[in-house]
């Protein structure tokens, strides 16, 4: 089932269950997907890869907002953002473990013959493309820096 179809079906379920929190998160996802579908030059569909990027962005925004609310002592708003982030996370692919991520990055470094921080751009380009959706760019960057920095 396509991502947009899945979201639409889940919105209907959330409406029937009167789950306002889930409904709000799903409607936000749906609105972002609809914006992508109706974008100029679009064909009215959202590829799963593009949908995953949108979901990653929404998840990241929720987590950043929750962190800010936590710093400000607004636990009520923080809890709301975290709850919505968990709902969005249900639609994201499983993230790579730290060990798997490190092994993949080491493989890219070996493949590219990278040996210093000067090669970080090449490694990041290859790793980011290959690991899109499986690992956050920030995590990839930290591993690349740690390995190339030694």
Write down the domain spans for the chain: 3-89, 98-149
User: Taking a C-beta distance cutoff of 8 angstroms, is the pair 36, 13 a contact?
Assistant: no
Multiple choice CATH, 3-89, 3.30.70.2190, 1.10.8.60, 1.10.1510.10, 3.40.50.300: 1.10.1510.10
Residue-averaged pLDDT of the chain: 87
Residue 107, token pair as written in the block: 């493989």
Could you tell me which CATH class the domain 98-149 is placed in?
A: mainly alpha
DSSP 117: G
Residue ranges of the chain with per-residue pLDDT less than 70: 1, 42, 150
Enter the pTM of the model: 0.73
Q: What is the pLDDT of residue 150?
A: 67
Q: Is 41 left (phi over 0), alpha (psi -120 to 50) or beta?
A: left
pLDDT tens-digit readout, 40-83: 776 777 777 788 888 888 999 999 999 999 999 999 999 999 99
| pLDDT the model gives residue 62 | 94
Q: Which of 147, 122, 131 is nearest to 97 (CA)?
A: 131
Closest by Cα among 31, 145, 45 to 88:
31
Cα 60 from Cα 52, distance rounded (Å): 12
What pLDDT, on the 0 to 100 scale, is given for residue 66? 95
């Amino acid at each position: 089932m396509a991502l947009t179809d899945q979201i639409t079906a889940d919105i209907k379920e959330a409406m029937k269950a009167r789950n306002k929190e889930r409904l709000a998160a799903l409607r936000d996802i749906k609105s972002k997907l609809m914006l992508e579908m109706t974008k100029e030059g679009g064909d009215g569909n959202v590829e799963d890869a593009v949908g995953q990027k949108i979901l990653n962005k929404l998840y990241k925004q929720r987590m950043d907002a929750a962190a800010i609310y936590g710093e400000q002592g607004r636990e009520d708003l923080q809890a709301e953002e975290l709850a919505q982030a968990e709902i969005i996370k249900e639609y994201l692919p499983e993230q790579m473990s730290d060990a798997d991520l490190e092994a993949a990055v080491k493989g890219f470094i070996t493949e590219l013959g990278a040996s210093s921080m000067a090669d970080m751009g090449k490694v990041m380009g290859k790793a980011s493309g290959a690991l899109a959706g499986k690992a956050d760019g920030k995590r990839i960057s930290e591993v690349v820096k740690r390995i190339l920095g030694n």
